[in-house]
């Protein structure tokens, strides 16, 4: 299998290889695929838990206020 990468993505791979965590690009790609598979399994489980949790109910003003309070305490996302 061959994969074509942009220069920017090739730089990312090269950086990971220089870190010493991976012996070659194939090891890094395999690790990314394993992580993707695990994330997909977790997301499906979360989705199924939501389905199994019962009938949905509309959010109240108090629910929205609590959600906003949690969001206000969360750190701002980092910009690239």
Burial of 71 (0-12, 13-18, 19+ CB in 10 A): exposed
| Residue 77 predicted with pLDDT over 90 | no
Confidence (pTM): 0.65
Residue count (the chain): 80
- State phi, psi for 23 to the nearest 5 degrees: -80, -25
DSSP string, the chain: ------HHHHHHHHHHHHTTS-SSHHHHHHHHHHHHHHHHHHHHHHHHHHHHT-S--PPPHHHHHHHHHHHHHSPPPPP-
Tens of pLDDT, residues 3-51: 999 999 999 999 999 999 999 999 999 999 999 999 999 999 999 999 9
The pLDDT of residue 80 is: 60
């Amino acid at each position: 299998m061959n994969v074509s990468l942009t220069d920017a993505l090739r730089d990312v791979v090269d950086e990971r290889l220089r870190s010493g965590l991976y012996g070659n690009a194939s090891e890094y790609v395999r690790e990314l695929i394993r992580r993707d598979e695990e994330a997909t399994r977790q997301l499906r489980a979360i989705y199924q838990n939501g389905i199994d949790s019962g009938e949905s109910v509309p959010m109240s003003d108090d629910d929205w206020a609590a959600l906003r309070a949690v969001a206000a305490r969360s750190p701002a996302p980092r910009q690239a």
